[in-house]
Structure 1
Amino acid sequence: MSNGTHLARAPHVIMGHMYSFHGIDISETAEDVYLTLVERGPMAPAELASVLRVTSHAMSAAVGELTGLGLVGPDGARLVAHPPRAALDVVVESRTKELAELRNGVEELSRFWRDHHIDGVSYIEIARTEVARRALVRRLYDEAAEQLRCLTIGFTGRSAQPNSLAPGFREALTRGVRCSVVYGAEVLRDRPGREGVQTSIDLGERARVFPGIPLNMGICDDRFALVCPPASNWGRRHHILVQRSDLLEALIGVFDSFWQIAVPLPTAVDTANDIGATATAENRQLLTYLSGGLTDDSIARELGVSERTVARRITRLQEVLGAQTRFQLGVQASRRGWL
């Protein structure tokens, strides 16, 4: 974690038309099952498994996914595909509500930051000196026994230090602590930040990126959280320690919401897909820069190639994965496991 506290498969082609499941979180087998039922009509699960050449266990799991979304239902001993719009409109509405709740949560937290000089609250501790701030950061990593969940926008404001690995981070991973971090896209626009993120991933961190991360925050197991809101002057920032309380539960919920909507960042393990394209280290690096919001010109300088070459590589990846936009490219990359 920087101190500052997947590509999906190509669309299906049926009768000359391309069909994909952008943004629908189901397995490839479930996609195959649904499209086969639409194309061929009602079929028994055993017959479907034979046609798709999958095991009965994989078929049962896929049917469970589709049934849960309302896309498939029983028709006697057979399965039938339901029209997608009515079923998936419910999913869209649910995700819209989740985003609205996330925004409301961030607003509530923002009001809290503006009113952080609260007296008489036993579960809150505010560190205003550099010594106290460093001690709290070290405590976050030293006391973690099971998991660390973090949001980070890195160092901000005047006199900010270069982004680097937090003290105690390596040791926490060595102890087997699971570390999950959502980075603000601005961290990936900074070379030291990108290098620190990649080092963290190589050490075993699970990392994702989202452009709207509002602050630095670390949650130690379910015991306490360390929050550092942005400050115009880095030297005058505050670290806020939140012990077990309703506020801590709210902070955990905020992290979980960001984790769900953030885009995974690539690991060091190369993955091949089933159509001959491979998730090379170069492709992963390119996708990481895209996730961070770098322009083609900036990416070209980082890779040491021309801007035209960058555009050509992006276009090629879009063609391979059937993505019409760069956003869809990131989604497809994440679902295939390249990110």
Structure 2
Amino acid sequence: MTAPGENPFAALGVTATQQTLYLTLLYNPGSTLGELAGMSEAPRPRLAALLLEMEDLGMISAEGAAGVAGEGGASAPADRAYTAHPPDAVVETLIRRRETEFIRARIEAKRINGDLLAAEQRSNPEKLVEVIDGLDAVIQRYEQVQRAAVRHVKAIDKPPYAVDPVSPNAIERERLANGVEYRAIYTPEARPSTLLDILIEVFDTCWEQATPLRFDDESGPVDVWPRLSEADRHLLTLLAAGLKDEAVARHTGMGARTVSRHVARLLRTLNARTRFQAGVHAARRGLV
């Protein structure tokens, strides 16, 4: 057998010896333990143990039944024909195995960390809050907190900042893509908003141009306004309450078309664009 200088499967938990034996089977499919022993300098029991390990890893499969003693009491059939699985399938199998191991390690680390934290809280309650000094340390911990989040990241955004607030948060975009929800409360001085400034300006402009709504005695002179009949005043009162023509017709006993004609006349008389505006103008001037 010829062994390459590098082991591409090392990161997946495959030893160099296993990788060498795998390549041998890849180019010599269907080899038995005896045939492999003739192609290798490794002792026969060692080869038997390696074949069992590689079967367990999902790297190879075999056909046959008889067995032979291997290292540590392990046994491998002597007349079984061994075949290596395709490299891409082997890599995927090994990756899934390692991912499972990583998940177990993460769970165990969290459990141990929780135990340590609980013990620390019992013995040193004053250390419940971690104080981080230094700009680099703050940035590093901020990134760690985001990457460790599984469901939510909750933050209060307030200057001064450790990182440039204008620059995009690449980690946040990555975590959002992975289903992590971000909830942040921003203080008024946290970040400028051009859209908010525009909306405030639009509101202020509309406020200055709007007609104040008053229901007190502060009304201007009424001599510049036309005289209204009692029916008109009653109609304006209903309009100011927001009633539609059908509802006004039911209150006044008039037909819907008659109400529409009276409303159109009052709008022209009061120089109003809407029914509600006509009622407001009339209320402001003491006409109703």
- Interval of TM-score (by shorter of Structure 1 and Structure 2): 0.3 to 0.5
Rg bigger for which structure? 2
Relative to its length, the structure with more strand (as a share) is 1
Bigger helix share = 2
TM-score w.r.t. the length of structure 2 is: 0.32
**Which structure has more RCO (C-alpha within 8 Å, separation ≥ 6)?**
1
Q: TM-score, normalised by structure 1?
A: 0.28
